[in-house]
Amino acid sequence: MLGYFPVVVLAALLIMVVIGRLGLVDRSPDEQVTAEQQGGLAGPAPLYVVVHGLDQGKDWPEIRSALSPRGTVLTLRYRATLLAGSRLLNRLPLYSNADPRTLAANVSKEIDKHFDPRRHTQVVLIGQSLGALIVRQAYLQGTRDGARWADAVSRMVLLAGMNRGWDISGHKPADMSGGRWLAFWFGSWFGRLTGTGKLIMAAETGAPFVANLRLAWMRHFQSAAAKPIEIVQLLGDIDDVVSDNDNKDLRAMASSKFAWIRVRGTGHADISNFSDPTAYGELQMGDYRRNKFLLAATGDFAEVRRANEEQAFKTDEDVSHIVFVVHGIRDRGEWAAAFEQALQGRFKELAGPGKKLVVASIRYGYFGMGPFLFQPGREKYVKWFMDEYTETLARYPKAKQVHFVGHSNGTYLLAAALKDYDSLQVDRVALGGSVVRKQYDWRPVFANRQVSRVLNYVAADDWVVSLFPRFFEPRWMYALLGNDIGSAGFNGFEHQPQGFAEVKYILGGHDAMLDRIPEIADFLLNPNPDASAYPLDTDKPRGRYEHASAWADWLLIWPALLALVAFIGWHVVVSASEPRWPWLAIYIGLVLTILFKL
């Protein structure tokens, strides 16, 4: 009945995979920024810089008309959609592969071209949706470059800003419809598969661009030399793209010059729609939004603060040390309590008066073996980890030392984040049951001063690591699938720069490191730990799983498991009467359920 349809679908998927792997679409994205200047009073006046989001400035005429009587309006445009050569592709909502950091750097250059200190008394930056991230990055770029315009910035207005990124992984906005959620879900899958839409994917919560920006933002404004600026955020109360938490970003924005203003009856696309004729009694929605916008962009800040609807974020400035404890797969991290007790006890012995330690035992819930083996599932939690890391550092801005303890998937989260996020910095790292590839190169991580010391515990009998992540580790398998997990918890790391130490081998399985909690606490907190003195349980290269993890048996284990699954499935299906396909579907569902719940 279906005819050739399944074959056509399979062929289409194959083509998309090849396109994505080879990067055949949008290899040279348009990253230019064009400027248009309008208005201007006879004498010195503010320069209002407006940067749009993915809508590419559909409401610019209304923004210009609101601002031009009060100063010069500089609108900056970039291409947010795919620059394709065919009419068909240009009609599809495919987003650009432009690098947002490059766009922000070009925004900074354009502002510098048009800023005239003789004509412009101040600069007000206005970013909408994705544009909010770009103007923040542009401001940091301008301050680093010593640009004149950056010194003149007095206020930043963020309209429905994706300040913490967009998120559909369980924290979607309450007003997001099922259709829009499906569009984000399908679009992100399609983009990853075909290598398109890297611009919008860069704005996902926890993505490198977002996390690095948030950390750089906090570090900049925590500096005594940083000039404080006024920050005003506006968000509609029925925004169907950006949630309250995504928009507020109170921890990264913590400032006495911060205000968050709610715009009622307004969705994501309507935040700058000042011509909406909808009326409720004497209130016209377009005028209402226009007044809110003008208050945020041009009003006296004392008046803006009176309209503020969010209390400033409170920080704890007594904390001097933070230790992150991150659990792994098939584990809810109950053992973190033992780490907290040992760390707090050792800290009291070593720390001077007035110092405080926080054990950040962050949790992402139960994570089964099945989803762990698939890279997208792990990547989701890398972004989660970076978001939690940023939130924690914002809460404790005076912490001078940040350490990390990771077990199993926790080791992967840190290693992957260190590679992708140059803003991630931890001092000392303790790893156990590591599922990172043994070929992982720690040398650039140390060279970039992202870490100072690493201690890796290698267990002799860790069957979890030796049989499962090890499968994806051979170089040819990594080149084929790009699945970056491996056997460092069973085989150790190949690249060990100065400051890296391994304890190999300790007796026990996947959780063997939990027998070494006191010495891990000493390694993290002691100013002069001697990791070479930590005792070994065995000097044998590996334990009982040595041969099971070697090439000969490695080639047998997985085919044997697949053969067993196929054998059972065959008999389940052929034993049924026609139609047999429901039994096949049920069996596949059962196998997937077991895989994802292991």
Pairwise pLDDT comparison (431 vs 39), residue with the higher score: 431
pLDDT band at 162 (very low <50, low <70, confident <90, very high): confident
Residues 295 and 331 in one domain: no
Residue where one domain finishes, among candidates 533, 566, 581: 533
Residues 291 and 350 in one domain: no
Residues 323 and 301 in one domain: no
Question: Is the pLDDT assigned to residue 151 strictly greater than 70?
Answer: yes
Residue where one domain finishes, among candidates 257, 277, 306: 306
For 161, the domain range is: 30-306
Residues 103 and 59 in one domain: yes
Please indicate, yes or no, if residue 369 is contained in any of the structural domains: yes
Residues 563 and 528 in one domain: no
Pairwise pLDDT comparison (297 vs 332), residue with the higher score: 297
Q: Is 12 exposed, middle or buried (0-12, 13-18, 19+ CB in 10 A)?
A: exposed
Q: Tell me: the pLDDT tens digits for 359-416?
A: 988 887 777 777 777 777 788 889 889 988 988 898 888 899 999 999 999 999 999 9
**Which residues are 280's β-sheet partners?**
283
Out of 64-73, 249-258, 416-425, 541-550, which region has the weakest mean confidence (pLDDT)? 541-550
Contact between 241 and 180 under an 8 Å Cβ cutoff? The reply is yes
Please indicate, yes or no, if residue 429 is contained in any of the structural domains: yes
The pTM of this model reads 0.76
Please indicate, yes or no, if residue 20 is contained in any of the structural domains: no
Residues 519 and 587 in one domain: no
Residues 157 and 302 in one domain: yes
Peptide bond into 505 cis (omega under 30): yes
Which residues are CB-neighbours of 236 under 8 A, at least 6 positions away?
Answer: 160, 262, 263, 264, 265, 266, 267, 268, 270, 271
Residue where one domain finishes, among candidates 253, 279, 306: 306
List Cα–Cα distances, 347 to 85, 338, 358, 475, in angstroms. 62, 14, 10, 42
Residues 153 and 287 in one domain: yes
Residues 519 and 424 in one domain: yes
Please indicate, yes or no, if residue 546 is contained in any of the structural domains: no
* Rounded Cα gap, residues 27 and 20, in angstroms: 11
Please indicate, yes or no, if residue 312 is contained in any of the structural domains: no
Out of 87-91, 244-248, 342-346, which region has the weakest mean confidence (pLDDT)? 87-91
In the prediction, which pLDDT does 335 show? Answer: 82
List Cα–Cα distances, 182 to 158, 194, 201, in angstroms. 26, 18, 15
Which residues are CB-neighbours of 575 under 8 A, at least 6 positions away?
Answer: none
Please indicate, yes or no, if residue 12 is contained in any of the structural domains: no
Going by C-alpha positions, the residue among 349, 384, 393, 343 that lies closest to residue 365 is 384
Question: Is the pLDDT assigned to residue 431 strictly greater than 80?
Answer: yes
Number of domains making up the chain:
3
Residues 442 and 511 in one domain: yes
Please indicate, yes or no, if residue 24 is contained in any of the structural domains: no
Residues 325 and 283 in one domain: no
Residues 568 and 509 in one domain: no
